[in-house]
């Protein structure tokens, strides 16, 4: 993805203007120059510049004033400060006010090109984020998170209450329950929705690399650090960082994360400059952090800093009334993706899937539906199409499967219907032989016959002899 990259160089020293212009033109950048702040503003009104490189000390309008103008009127422009020996402290203040970076005069060619390369990468990332954001806003509306059960309704209510705050959130739940989906919903329903959402899996990156990924590193800070690297906390400035599998973080990094939660400050690996960013933290884990605190493998003070707003995502077995909705959603989704006609699911297959425990939760359910969409030959998914571990399940009656409503159920009638169904099923399995059917039901033969007469149940063929 290549974007236009126009640079405005602002300096009252003609020699500096010429030197930097020649360097950047040779590097392939589109360049314009201005000898003072007022001229820079006039040119910026006529043309869009992605980057402004400006001297800090200029007559009439200095670099700080020019920075303020761009932060107010063109905040997407990256402003890079050129500083003299005595103005480093002012340049640091400029960074706090929104400057992208600063270069000390006389700036070396490789330093200028490196900072511009970083700015270009940031611009590309921002463009990609804008595209993804437009797609994700729709995806992470509440009505896109599948579930009508009370546990899920409670999560929706919680998201509505906490999304617009900046409080740290800890999402807990088993693997595959959709913790990242909840984190996305928090971000895209918050005031930060137009800023980056940056996820990182703390358990998927080796400890020695995770610190650099989170906090960045300076050039030369370790073997292989050939250039400066921005960490995820900087990339998530004014947005949200999602720390998945936070329970896998090492004690050393737990200390650094604790400091960030307390002060919103950190130093890059190998760096001395303190960086402050405005980043909201949403963390997630499938581990019991309280047990880890008791065992000494997770810091108690960090746990309490993370657990400001706890959200528990229930496993699928605790919300089986959501399974039919999820099945229909995944059937439609994967049928469209694979250009396969939409399939139905039989009542028997649905009952078996509701009775299954789903140790892999929603992720396992989606994978199962994807396979069924591909492998089922007919237009309806039957029991024989299910994996054996699901097909052997028998639905257990529950409030959700019986269909309890707000006004309650007819318990006597429901039990009567269940007993009739079990008697007929036993007779069917016994081939109509009442003696065998009675044994299956744990009844005497005469008791079974009396129940059949009272209920007016007919014996299926072949008849009892």
Q: What gap in Å lies between CA 150 and CA 168, rounded to an integer? A: 24
Per-residue confidence (pLDDT) for residue 338, from 0 to 100: 92
Per-residue confidence (pLDDT) for residue 292, from 0 to 100: 97
Question: By C-alpha distance, which of 276, 100, 126, 280 is closest to 194?
Answer: 126
Question: Is the full-model pTM beyond 0.75?
Answer: no
Per-residue confidence (pLDDT) for residue 240, from 0 to 100: 95
Per-residue confidence (pLDDT) for residue 133, from 0 to 100: 52
Instruction: Tell me if residue 8 falls in helix, strand or coil.
Output: strand
For residue 309, give Cα distances in angstroms to 162, 179, 423: 8, 14, 51
Per the rule left: phi > 0, alpha: psi between -120 and 50, beta: everything else, 408 is left
pLDDT tens for the chain, residues 1 to 465: 445 678 999 999 899 999 999 999 998 899 999 999 999 999 999 888 999 999 988 888 888 999 999 998 888 899 999 987 666 777 778 888 888 988 888 888 999 999 998 888 888 777 766 655 554 444 545 555 788 888 898 998 999 899 989 999 999 999 999 999 999 899 988 999 889 999 999 999 988 889 999 999 888 888 777 778 888 999 999 999 999 999 999 999 999 999 999 999 999 998 888 999 999 999 999 999 999 999 999 999 999 999 999 999 999 999 989 999 999 999 999 999 999 999 999 999 999 999 899 999 999 999 999 999 999 998 999 999 999 888 887 545 555 555 555 555 666 776 787 788 888 888 888 888 888 888 888 888 888 888 888 888 877 655 444
Strands 265-267 vs 274-276: parallel, antiparallel or unpaired: antiparallel
Ordered domains of the chain (ranges, CATH) = 6-124 (3.40.50.2300), 140-312 (3.40.50.300), 317-391 (1.10.8.60), 410-465 (1.10.10.60)
Burial class (CB in 10 A: 0-12, 13-18, 19+), 52: buried
Say if residues 368 and 387 touch (Cβ distance below 8 Å). yes
Per-residue confidence (pLDDT) for residue 130, from 0 to 100: 62
Instruction: Tell me if residue 54 falls in helix, strand or coil.
Output: strand
Per-residue confidence (pLDDT) for residue 464, from 0 to 100: 44
């Amino acid at each position: 993805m290549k974007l236009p990259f126009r640079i405005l160089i602002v300096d009252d020293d003609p020699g500096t203007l010429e030197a930097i212009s020649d360097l950047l033109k040779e590097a392939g950048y589109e360049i314009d120059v201005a000898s003072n702040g007022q001229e820079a503003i006039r040119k910026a009104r006529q043309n869009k510049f992605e980057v402004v490189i400006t001297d800090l000390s200029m007559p009439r309008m200095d670099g700080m004033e020019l920075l303020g103008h761009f932060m107010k009127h063109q905040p997407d422009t990256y402003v890079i400060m050129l500083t003299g020996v005595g103005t480093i402290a002012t340049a640091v203040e400029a960074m706090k006010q929104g400057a992208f970076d600063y270069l000390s005069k006389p700036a070396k060619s490789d330093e200028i090109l490196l900072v511009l390369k970083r700015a270009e990468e940031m611009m590309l990332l921002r463009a990609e984020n804008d595209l993804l954001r437009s797609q994700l806003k729709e995806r992470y509306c509440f009505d896109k998170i599948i579930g009508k059960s009370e546990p899920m309704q409670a999560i929706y209510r919680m998201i509505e209450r906490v999304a617009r705050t900046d409080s740290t959130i800890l999402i807990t739940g088993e693997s595959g329950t959709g913790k990242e989906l909840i984190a996305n919903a928090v971000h895209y329903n918050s005031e930060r929705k137009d800023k980056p959402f940056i996820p990182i899996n703390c358990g998927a990156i080796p400890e020695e690399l995770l610190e650099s990924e989170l906090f960045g590193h300076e050039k030369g800070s370790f073997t292989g650090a050939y250039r400066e690297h921005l960490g995820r906390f900087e990339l998530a400035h004014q947005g949200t960082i999602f720390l998945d599998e936070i329970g896998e973080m090492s004690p050393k990094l737990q200390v650094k994360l604790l400091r960030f939660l307390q002060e919103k400050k950190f130093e890059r690996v190998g760096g001395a400059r303190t960086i402050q960013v405005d980043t909201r933290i949403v963390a997630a884990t499938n581990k019991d952090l309280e047990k880890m605190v008791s065992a000494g493998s997770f810091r108690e003070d960090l746990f309490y800093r993370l657990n400001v707003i706890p959200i528990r995502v229930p496993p699928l077995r605790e919300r089986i009334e959501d399974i039919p909705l999820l099945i229909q959603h995944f059937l439609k989704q994967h049928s469209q993706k694979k250009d396969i006609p939409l399939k139905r699911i039989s009542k028997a297959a649905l009952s078996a899937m509701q009775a299954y425990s789903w140790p892999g939760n929603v992720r396992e359910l989606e994978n199962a539906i994807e396979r069924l969409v591909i492998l089922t030959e007919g237009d309806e998914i039957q029991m024989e199409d299910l994996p054996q571990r699901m097909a052997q399940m028998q639905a257990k009656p529950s409030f959700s499967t019986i269909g309890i409503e707000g006004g309650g159920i007819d318990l006597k009638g429901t039990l009567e219907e269940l007993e009739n169904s079990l008697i007929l099923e036993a007779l069917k399995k016994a081939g109509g032989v009442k003696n065998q059917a009675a044994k299956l039901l744990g009844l005497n033969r005469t008791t079974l016959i009396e129940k059949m007469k009272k209920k007016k149940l007919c014996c299926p063929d072949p008849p009892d002899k």
